[in-house]
Chain A
Amino acid sequence: MDTIHSKQVPEELALYKGWLIRTLESMQSVIQNNLKAINKKNSNLYKDILSDTELVFHNLGLVNSLYVPPIHRSISSDIISLKLLHWLHNSNSKTINIPFAIADGSFGVYLNQRTLYYLPIVEQKGLLFLALFFHEFGHVLFAIHRPEMEQLIAEIQLAIEEFLRPGFAHNDEKNEDEWRNNEIIVTTWYRWALELYCDAVGLVIGGPAYLLAFSNYFQMGGRNEFFNNKEELAGSTHPVTSIRLKFLLSRARQLGYNEISNQVEEEWNLLKTSYNVNEEYFGYYIEEYFEVIEGVISDMITQSFPIEYNNSSCSPAVLINQAWQKFYENPAGYPDAEKNLVHNFLNSSFQLSSILS
């Protein structure tokens, strides 16, 4: 506890640090309460006390391995990411008081009463891929609107179940296998729908930069970005990238990002041709699903109202879009251009407090 108390952190981490200290204090209080219970010397209570102690042990394990490192590792170069996340959390009245921090690792988010955003070390050094945080913020929005969101996901699952339903039912082993397979597909779609929603959130908040970051991040992933075998698809956490891209491109065009969408589509078509890959998804996805899924994802966006990208405003989302623009204009000169963008972001009239007000 002293280590955390004494650690100096940027103001954006103050909420998180406060939460961490309160969590440790509450664990201390549970331990003290359990000691009082033991002192009652009532053997009927021992199982309950043991169970309570196990909870503290598990929580301490999580705190030690997941929640303390972001405070312990806090470094000055996090500042851009922290300002971006601060802006995101302040963009919504329901996320404004959720503590957050950054940890090293593949892109991702851990969410409980606080949010841990994971960011690969290389990507921490630049602006371009910070756009992927917008997707992760989608997970936060999902969590705070969970009941409505799960109802909407159920709509997708039920529609897919209907598509998959055998034409007629008969009691044989083949039919049972088919039902089991369909159950796995429908269950898998809970996670897939969540990810497609987060992609849509990424695009709504980040504009073209999200599409470019997404495309560049996955482009060199190989054949697996187009094709997974049936066993890999079962229970997978994410749709195959080519499916995600279909939905992203469609929404990007609806938002008016036609030129960039065409460019991204062309690049992926070239890859598909060179891999000579057959897009077979074994019932996990067919074109007939598209309309219903896209409609429900739009409803989920309406329900959670992420802040919309506006290139005439001054925001971290605009900053990242400027970075992508500079990168495409002159890749060789990009490192210097990025330094200037960051410098201006931190020192110019662009002050976080002004965007928040």
Chain B
Amino acid sequence: MDAKWFSLQSMKLNHSIIGAINTVCIHLKLMKANDQPLKSEDEIKEAIRTIKIWLTELDKFLIAYEQNTFQAITGVNPRIQQFIKRFSSAKRKNEFRSKIFHDRPVELTLLLSEDDPKYSDDLINSLADLRTLLEEHNQSDFKNLLPDL
């Protein structure tokens, strides 16, 4: 077992969240344009559920980390721990303007209603910013697994 195993685990998680974000963002934008959805209602509900679960986890770990940044976050894969630190640093340095980087991540779950996902600029912008961080993290996992030529 080497560090690549952790990268693969991390990539699996990131892919499911990024995929869910893409599904929700595309759906919300099509709704805004009064266009037909591309994915089924079940697929969209599942994507929302995935994001909500993950935001709740992120929120929990973020609180633990921000209470004492000198202490390790226990019971967490070190790659996820690195993401939490990166998220916290992006918040501190005001790298992103969207709501999720100014409120707690769990606040975003309130905007995601499984039965009636209403369009909201806050939601789309937050998801897009979150995706940027996840993609950055994902790139480094990918490079760890499959080095460049």
CA distance A194 to B76 in the complex (A): 11
CB-based contact A61/B1 at 8 Å = no
* Interface hits, A1-55 → B, CB 8 Å: 33, 36-37, 40, 42, 44-45, 47-49, 51-52, 54-55
Stretch at the interface among A152-160, A206-214, A222-230, A255-263: A152-160
CB-based contact B26/A37 at 8 Å = yes
Report how many A-B pairs have Cβ atoms within 8 Å.
Answer: 118
A58 interface neighbour in B11, B21, B25, B76, Cβ under 8 Å: B11
CB-based contact A45/B29 at 8 Å = yes
A190 at the A/B interface (Cβ < 8 Å)?
Answer: yes
Most buried by B among A48, A106, A153, A183: A48
CA distance A182 to B6 in the complex (A): 22
CB-based contact B5/A59 at 8 Å = no
Stretch at the interface among A70-78, A90-98, A109-117, A330-338: A109-117
A294 at the A/B interface (Cβ < 8 Å)?
Answer: no
B94 at the A/B interface (Cβ < 8 Å)?
Answer: no
Which residues of B have CB within 8 Å of A235?
Answer: 78
Query: How far, in Å, is B66 (CB) from chain A's closest CB?
Result: 14
B98 at the A/B interface (Cβ < 8 Å)?
Answer: no
CA distance A29 to B2 in the complex (A): 33
CB-based contact A48/B15 at 8 Å = no
Which residues of A have CB within 8 Å of B81?
Answer: 187
Which residues of A have CB within 8 Å of B11?
Answer: 58, 62
* Interface hits, B30-66 → A, CB 8 Å: 30, 32-33, 35, 38-39
* Interface hits, B69-108 → A, CB 8 Å: 70-78, 81
A104 at the A/B interface (Cβ < 8 Å)?
Answer: no
Which residues of A have CB within 8 Å of B35?
Answer: 40, 42
CB-based contact B70/A179 at 8 Å = yes
CB-based contact B19/A52 at 8 Å = yes
Instruction: Name the CB-closest residue of B to A138.
Output: B1
* Interface hits, A53-87 → B, CB 8 Å: 54-55, 58-59, 61-62, 65-66
CB-based contact B1/A195 at 8 Å = yes
A49 interface neighbour in B9, B26, B75, B131, Cβ under 8 Å: B26
CB-based contact A33/B39 at 8 Å = yes
CB-based contact A187/B78 at 8 Å = yes
Which residues of B have CB within 8 Å of A246?
Answer: none
* Interface hits, A143-178 → B, CB 8 Å: 143, 150-151, 153-154, 157-158, 161, 176
CB-based contact B70/A176 at 8 Å = yes
CA distance A44 to B22 in the complex (A): 12
CB-based contact B146/A62 at 8 Å = yes
CB-based contact A150/B72 at 8 Å = no
Given A44-B29, A61-B146, A198-B1: A51 in contact with B22 (beta carbons within 8 A): yes
Which residues of B have CB within 8 Å of A49?
Answer: 22, 26
* Interface hits, A212-253 → B, CB 8 Å: 235, 237-238
Given A48-B26, A55-B15, A237-B3: A65 in contact with B146 (beta carbons within 8 A): yes
CA distance A136 to B18 in the complex (A): 29
CB-based contact A183/B22 at 8 Å = no
A186 at the A/B interface (Cβ < 8 Å)?
Answer: yes
Which residues of A have CB within 8 Å of B146?
Answer: 61-62, 65
A37 interface neighbour in B2, B38, B145, Cβ under 8 Å: B38
Which residues of B have CB within 8 Å of A40?
Answer: 30, 35, 38
Query: How far, in Å, is B34 (CB) from chain A's closest CB?
Result: 11
B118 at the A/B interface (Cβ < 8 Å)?
Answer: no
A126 at the A/B interface (Cβ < 8 Å)?
Answer: no
Query: How far, in Å, is B127 (CB) from chain A's closest CB?
Result: 9
Q: Hey, which bits of chain A sit against chain B, CB under 8 A? A: 33, 36-37, 40, 42, 44-45, 47-49, 51-52, 54-55, 58-59, 61-62, 65-66, 106, 108-113, 136, 139, 143, 150-151, 153-154, 157-158, 161, 176, 179-180, 182-184, 186-187, 190-191, 194-195, 198, 235, 237-238
Given contacts A45-B26, A55-B18, A62-B11, 18 further A-B contacts (CB under 8 A): A33-B39, A42-B35, A45-B29, A48-B26, A49-B26, A51-B135, A55-B22, A106-B2, A108-B5, A110-B4, A111-B5, A112-B8, A180-B70, A182-B72, A183-B71, A194-B1, A237-B1, A237-B2
Q: Which 4 A-B pairs have the closest CB atoms?
A: A154-B75, A179-B70, A186-B72, A157-B74
Q: Hey, which bits of chain B sit against chain A, CB under 8 A? A: 1-6, 8-9, 11-12, 15, 18-19, 21-22, 25-26, 29-30, 32-33, 35, 38-39, 70-78, 81, 128, 131, 135, 138, 142, 145-146
